[in-house]
Structures are given as C-alpha cells and as structure tokens.
Amino acid sequence: MQERIPNIYSFKVKKINGDDQPLSAFRNKVLLVVNTASECGFTPQLKELQQLREEINHPDFEILGFPTNDFGKQEPLNGLDIATFCEINHGVKFPVFDKIMVRGEFIHPLYQFLSDKKQNSKLNSKPRWNFHKYIINRKGELVDFYFPFTKPLSSKIKKKIHQLLNENANK
C-alpha cells in the first residue's frame, strides 16, 4: 500500500470577493505561496512577484498571495481594497486572496499545514514576517521555503521553479 503524502489540495481559501476557492483548482501546477502586506518594507516584492510571474510565463506556474495583518499590523486594507492596491500600485495580476492569519491561535489551516512538519511531512517553517515564500510542486507537496529577504527574482527561486516545472512535466 502506497503511503499518502500530504498536499495542499484539501484546503479551501477565500477569494477577495468572499467566494471559496478550493486549492485543488491549482492541481498539477508549481506554486509560489506568499504572505503579503501593503505597508511593509518588503511590499515592493509585489512588483517583483508579478515580474517573476511574467518571466516564467508557463501555464503550470502560479503565484498565490495571502495578505496578512500578523506582522506589525502592516495590512490595514480589506477585501477589494487589497486587490486594488496590489493591481494599481504594483501591477499584480496573480491571484491575491482574502486576508488571513498566518500564525497564532487563529492561523489559517493552509498555513498550519505549510509551517508544521508534522502536517506537511517535509519541514517546519513558520513565517517570521511578511513575504515568507513557500514553493509547492505539481503534486501539491511543500518542497521548500524562502525567507522574506530572498527576492522573488533571485536565481535560487527561479532555478527551483524551473526544476519543478521540468520534473514530471508529462505526467
């Protein structure tokens, strides 16, 4: 019997408009999952994330943004104001979801999974600040993470994404 490897496909998140979005909609895609904020020193990474999305213009790659107010209360916006800010100020076209908690007592189940090795069977990596990045393979499994100071356009992030896109591309 094959052991089931935990993945993100069982989770649902809320779109900015409040509708549920099952993460299974991103099955067979390489994902970069990032917790964001509009008033952070790392906020310019929103533009870099969009540049990364455009540079790796592959149908099986997506970036998922999750605004949070958990660090220094740097996300005062809500709902459509977040989407408008991201698009107008940083040209963001990748999916940005409704604001969630990424740590603490009310942490979103997706982030519980991503940050806890007991759940993801790969590694422990709780976000310590905004723009903590997780990379997910085509099977929905956590592969690695990058701290906020690792820029989205860094060679190590791009190399890992290309490697994962080329892995099992025909399966």
Separation between Cα atoms, residue 43 and residue 59, nearest integer Å: 26
Q: Is 40 considered catalytic here?
A: yes
Which two structure tokens, joined as six digits, stand for 140? 């929905």
**153 Cβ contact partners less than 8 Å away, ≥ 6 residues apart:** 48, 51, 52, 55
Neighbours of 105 (CB within 10 A): 5
Catalytic residue among 32, 33, 34, 40: 40
Beta pairing, strands 61-67 & 30-36: parallel
Give the residue among 35, 34, 17 at the shortest CA–CA distance from 74: 35
Which residues lie across from 136 on neighbouring strands? Answer: 31, 142
Which two structure tokens, joined as six digits, stand for 79? 């709902």
Which sequence positions are flagged as catalytic?
40
